[in-house]
Amino acid sequence: MDANFSHHQEADDGGATAKKAAEKPSSAAAANRLLILISLLGAGMLVWWAAVFHPSNRQLWMVPLGLLLAGTPVVVLLSVFASDAGDK
């Protein structure tokens, strides 16, 4: 009878551990959020340059940097999602 008690106790502990894991965001989700944030910052830089500096063609360094920041995370996210889709 003690064996059944310990088995149920282990099952209860496993459920609690799974519940804690579900509450804590995974590192993959955090990385995805960071990549989306970087992409939005790059797009914001491009919009800022277009609104403020484009008429006078000043601060041209912002264009390639904005394109890099806006485009690279999108390519990374697409490649990560594509590699995850192949595993399922």
Does residue 57 surpass a pLDDT of 60? yes
- Residue 38 placed within a domain: yes
- Residue 78 placed within a domain: yes
Does residue 41 surpass a pLDDT of 70? yes
- Residue 49 placed within a domain: yes
- Residue 72 placed within a domain: yes
CA distance linking residue 81 with residue 88, whole number of Å: 11
Taking residues 75-80, what's their average pLDDT? 91
Q: How far is CA 84 from CA 2, 43, 72, 81, 87, in A?
A: 43, 26, 18, 5, 5
Taking residues 70-87, what's their average pLDDT? 87
Residue/partner pairs of 47-55 with CB below 8 Å, 24 or more apart = none
- Residue 7 placed within a domain: no
Domain residues for 66? 26-87
Average pLDDT taken over every residue of the chain: 81
- Residue 5 placed within a domain: no
- Residue 82 placed within a domain: yes
Taking residues 34-56, what's their average pLDDT? 95
Domain count of the fold of the chain: 1
pTM of the model: 0.66
- Residue 66 placed within a domain: yes
